[in-house]
Structure 1
Amino acid sequence: MLGTRTSAFLKLSKRDLKYDFPASIVVFLVALPLCLGIAMASGAPLFAGVLTGVIGGIVVGAISGSSLSVSGPAAGLTVIVFGAITKLGAYETFLLAVVLSGVIQLVLGIVKAGMIGNYFPSSVILGMLAAIGITIILKQLPLAFGMTESNAFDVENGGGISAFANTVFSSINWGATIICLLSLLVLIYWPSIKYLNKMPAPLVVVLIGVGFGYIFQGTSFALFPTHFVSIPTVSSLAEFQGLFVFPNFGEILNKEVWIVAFTLAIIASLETLLSLEAVDKLDPFKRNSPTNRELVAQGVGNMTSGFLGGLPMTSVIVRSSANVNAGGRTRQSAILHGVWLLIALLAIPSIINLIPLACLAAILLHTGYKLAKPALFQQMFRKGLDQFIPFTITVVAIVFTDLLMGVGIGIVVATCYILRANMQNAYKFEITEEQTAVLTLAEEVSFLNKVPIQQKLYSLPRSVEKVVINGENSKFIDKDVLEVLKDFEQNAMSKGLDIEMQEVTYKRKSVRSKNKLQKIV
């Protein structure tokens, strides 16, 4: 079955090459600066970012069942990657976690866990993405102003606010700042310029950065070598092979490695599934991507990336939407974009090293803003407090702790709201003109509904003369709830209150009972 689908697909790819080829060029131009920027934000070698893009295009693109999804290093994982590299102490140890995360994703795909994203509250997922956006912005601000690690926010003890301000302003490189501001303006306004917007905005940003970097030479705005991209240039196959870093399998029993691996696998899978759903909505042919097969593809991709020294990857909505807008038809455009990244890595590394880091910082600042834009907060607020509060708490918790802890806190808060809604929807209550209180039970009444039902029954107005408890629509009533109803019936009858039970039973087979609660056998 799969072989038949693959064969038909390859035939379609050949027919649609005239659409996929130009689309792959556009995706490549968008992906190259993003690969470099995400690697920089993750605290990883820049070579690793481009390598991940190559693997995401060629390996994942060849296995994935999605026609338009494009995979590569994701901005949503930068916070986890940066923290994991620091926590594990060595990049080689981190690579082992990436390999293991791929194995976990592969298993998830095989056991058909592609629906995993449906079990996470959307408010928490959106809060996670917004928090990642805020974190990216905070991390890129120093580079946007040309501050390197050696001088960014370096203030002597006892300097106070004045010394802090003086140090910050003296550390700013105004050339890098100008390049970053111009880049942000291009990223914001270029897509709205008719005809010119055929050229991807990130490519324009890179060209502006390279141009101004050259123009500023010999002036007070000149950039230093630390302000530019620095990927290794190779002149032989042996040098190229030396660029690859391999995982340290000796740390396989390290508990921290497994924690990072599971974190990467879950977050990467969620981001991939969300991106896949968004891309399918953009697809003009409205094709549905197989989620389980995508998890398998991502698993193989992450295993390959981790083994060769790359970063964890996901399906990325920025690259994928660029693919759709450029007219891509099949996954061949994703594969070709990976080929172009590989050629660029081998053939033009000296040109890539002319790109100022301020350009990449601008691209990441823009990406971070889109993840955490104010309109998102307004949208969540309009959805109600049950959505806004878990969303906000997730954002704050991630920014001030870490991603895993923040997501956990967000899920707990969201679950509380879900349970609260469940308890409120356990029944309908009304008092008729005949002073009859009618309590209609929901379809499923669990032990969580015990307290609200008990409180409602024992707080009836004195004017009520009769109580009707209607279980006709209930398929299941928990034993604890039935015990409450039994106790209330005995209490009501002792006070002379007329009470009627309608099909209130634990069993699936309903039996009508009046003035008597069904005995549970």
Structure 2
Amino acid sequence: MKRTDKAGLSAYSNDLLASVVVFLVALPLCMGVAIASGAPPAVGLITGIVGGLIVGILQGAPLQVSGPAAGLTVIVYELIQRHGLPALAITVLAAGMIQAVAAMLRGGRWFRAVPPTVIHGMLAGIGLLIFASQMHVMVDDKPKGSGLQNLMTVPLAIWKGIIPNEDTPHQEAAAIGLITIITVLLWTKFAGRLRIVPGPLVGVLVATVVSNLFHFPIAYVSVPSNLVASMTFPTMSTLHLLAEPATWGAAFGLAVVASAETLLCAGAVDRMHTGPRTNYNRELFAQGVGNMICGVLGGLPMTGVIVRSSANVQAGARTRVSAFFHGAWILLVVVALPQVLRLVPVSSLAGILVYTGLKLVNVKMFKELYQYGKSEAAIYAVTLVAIVTTDLLKGVLIGFTLAIAKLLYRMSRLEIRIEDHALERRTVVHLRGAATFFRLADIAESLDTIPTDRELHIQFNELAHLDHATLEFLATWEKQHSSKGGSVVIDWDALERHYHAQRVPSKSPIVSLGGLGATSTRSG
């Protein structure tokens, strides 16, 4: 019992420490996503708080962290520009309702069908995007217009961080970012028993002390003074939007994108730890509840987010307690201690994200996938590139499409080998691969070349798959061959291994397999 209690206390202490790290990462991201979406920073903080205090309790992915997501900024920006913040709140409310209903209909489980290769490519792509954007923030510069632009201008950011400039403090900001990363690396390697304290937290503390001790003229975290004043509650003039089809159309699109990002992120987080697996329907329901509350409070839409989630796992979180408390810390600091948070340099937080992004770009994973075949590595690489050059959802869809194309290609691969023994008037047809309707034409053309006076043996033992269309075709072809004086011998044992006997109709000319031996010969 004592062991259990100690283990429980250890888990909770890890969760509390991890929650501080996630909080420090989440706070600037909540405000940054809001600004990128064309909304006040406080609106993003509302979503971050709800994502912790509400979704953190209900979620089906224990180590996932929810909040405003960069992947939704384009959609949200367009909604705000066209209809304003009040209309956005109603749309988010409706999107949450759609997600909750979809969860009740068990729609979340379909996202488990995404191949691991695509998810690993997604993680690497997101990691590369995080690294590229935060390299600019780490030198107190602004990220560029797109992920590809951020990546191409990383050398420029490095140049700004190295070469002194009297007008801008890029060099000092870069130094603070580097101090953060070096501290994390040294702490991870040499902390020993003190490793219970997360390296990212130590890195931010050291960087904060240094930057304030030397009074570096760099950017520090900015916190709004009044959170409640930033809330946009529904009114009778905005609630009528729920009766308009256009609102539900926009809400449906928002719900689909938000759900996809959340559940794909949950699948990715599952691959980062060995703890409890995701309950996809529960996670989708929790997101629906969270978005309904965000809609009522006037917050941004939320999703499960990979940056905060990966930081949560890497900081040592064990349970959902970490996600809950990260929301509590945001609320506490924004309401009671905004002056403390204003001491933290932005470049230090960016350094944590640069470190996190590079860890997500796992080169070893590409090598492991390559061992399973060039196609697996290709799908991984294409998914990564597509995410960087387009966006998260499009990149995943491209990778998923390639995975389906690969499956169809494998299902259509069939080798037909014919051995003709003219003196014995016997022909053996070997089928290897997948005998499906995709290759019926090839099977027909091959069988049509066999002389009518031959005893035909069809070998199925090298088949990986056999479908009903092929069975029906062979039954029909057998009748035609028999009517011309030939005979057919089929290896029913091999056939039975690839196709269940009960699926063959009782009236089929192939007859039941139940009483047959190793082979069955029927001649005309």
TM bracket, shorter-chain basis? 0.7 to 0.9
- State the alpha-carbon separation in 1 of the partners of residues 189 and 449 from structure 2: 62
Q: Does 1:511 align with 2:498?
A: no
Q: Does 1:230 align with 2:228?
A: no
Partner of 1:26: 17
> Helix, strand or coil for the counterpart of 2:458?
strand
Amino acid at match of 1:379: E
Residue 168 of structure 1 deviates from its aligned partner by 10
Partner of 1:314: 304
Partner of 2:173: 176
Partner of 2:52: 57
- State the alpha-carbon separation in 2 of the partners of residues 198 and 345 from structure 1: 27
Amino acid at match of 1:203: L
| Partner residue of 2:458 out of 469, 476, 479 | 469
1:478-489 → structure 2 map (5 Å cutoff): 478-479=468-469, 482-483=472-473, 486-487=476-477
- State the alpha-carbon separation in 2 of the partners of residues 150 and 440 from structure 1: 56
Residue 408 of structure 1 deviates from its aligned partner by 2.2
- State the alpha-carbon separation in 1 of the partners of residues 58 and 392 from structure 2: 30
String of CA shifts for 1:342-378, please: whole Å, max 9, x gaps: 2222111121122222112112212222222322322
- State the alpha-carbon separation in 2 of the partners of residues 167 and 361 from structure 1: 13
Residue 487 of structure 1 deviates from its aligned partner by 4.9
Q: Does 1:282 align with 2:282?
A: no
Q: Does 1:372 align with 2:364?
A: no
The verdict on how the C-alpha distance between 1:511 and 1:476 changes in structure 2, with shifts beyond 3 A counting, is farther
Residue 212 of structure 1 deviates from its aligned partner by 2.8
String of CA shifts for 1:141-189, please: whole Å, max 9, x gaps: 221222247999xxxxxxxx99x98999656610101011111222333
String of CA shifts for 1:224-268, please: whole Å, max 9, x gaps: 4xx2221112xxxxx431022458764961555532331111221
CA contact (8 A) 1:179 1:208 kept: no
- State the alpha-carbon separation in 2 of the partners of residues 413 and 83 from structure 1: 26
The verdict on how the C-alpha distance between 1:70 and 1:399 changes in structure 2, with shifts beyond 3 A counting, is closer
Partner of 1:102: 96
String of CA shifts for 1:362-398, please: whole Å, max 9, x gaps: 1221222222232232222222123222222122222
TM (normalized to structure 1)? 0.74
Report how many aligned residue pairs link the two structures: 468
CA contact (8 A) 1:70 1:334 kept: yes
Residue 403 of structure 1 deviates from its aligned partner by 2.5
Partner of 2:287: 298
- State the alpha-carbon separation in 2 of the partners of residues 192 and 167 from structure 1: 26
> Helix, strand or coil for the counterpart of 1:73?
strand
Residue 35 of structure 1 deviates from its aligned partner by 0.7
Partner of 1:186: 183
Amino acid at match of 2:176: I
Amino acid at match of 2:209: G
Residue 511 of structure 1 deviates from its aligned partner by 1.4
Partner of 2:196: 198
Residue 291 of structure 1 deviates from its aligned partner by 3.7
Residue 89 of structure 1 deviates from its aligned partner by 4.5
- State the alpha-carbon separation in 2 of the partners of residues 52 and 95 from structure 1: 11
Q: Does 1:397 align with 2:386?
A: yes
- State the alpha-carbon separation in 2 of the partners of residues 388 and 52 from structure 1: 37
> Helix, strand or coil for the counterpart of 1:115?
helix
- State the alpha-carbon separation in 1 of the partners of residues 321 and 288 from structure 2: 20
- State the alpha-carbon separation in 2 of the partners of residues 31 and 448 from structure 1: 51
1:33-432 → structure 2 map (5 Å cutoff): 33-39=24-30, 42=33, 43=36, 46-64=41-59, 68-73=62-67, 77-78=69-70, 80-90=71-81, 92=85, 95-96=89-90, 98-148=92-142, 170=165, 173-193=170-190, 194-217=192-215, 222-224=216-218, 227-233=219-225, 239-245=226-232, 250=241, 253=246, 255-256=249-250, 258-275=252-269, 281-282=274-275, 290-308=279-297, 309-314=299-304, 317-318=309-310, 321=313, 325=316, 331=320, 334-424=323-413
Give the aligned CA root-mean-square deviation in angstroms: 4.5
CA contact (8 A) 2:53 2:327 kept: yes
The verdict on how the C-alpha distance between 1:320 and 1:182 changes in structure 2, with shifts beyond 3 A counting, is closer
Q: Which range is displaced more, 141-150 or 397-406?
A: 141-150
Amino acid at match of 2:52: G
Identity of aligned residues (%): 24
CA contact (8 A) 1:127 1:394 kept: yes
Amino acid at match of 1:124: V
Partner of 2:150: none
Residue 292 of structure 1 deviates from its aligned partner by 2.5
> Helix, strand or coil for the counterpart of 1:62?
helix
CA contact (8 A) 1:25 1:340 kept: no
Q: Which range is displaced more, 138-147 or 15-24?
A: 15-24
- State the alpha-carbon separation in 1 of the partners of residues 285 and 73 from structure 2: 25
Partner of 1:236: none
TM (normalized to structure 2)? 0.73
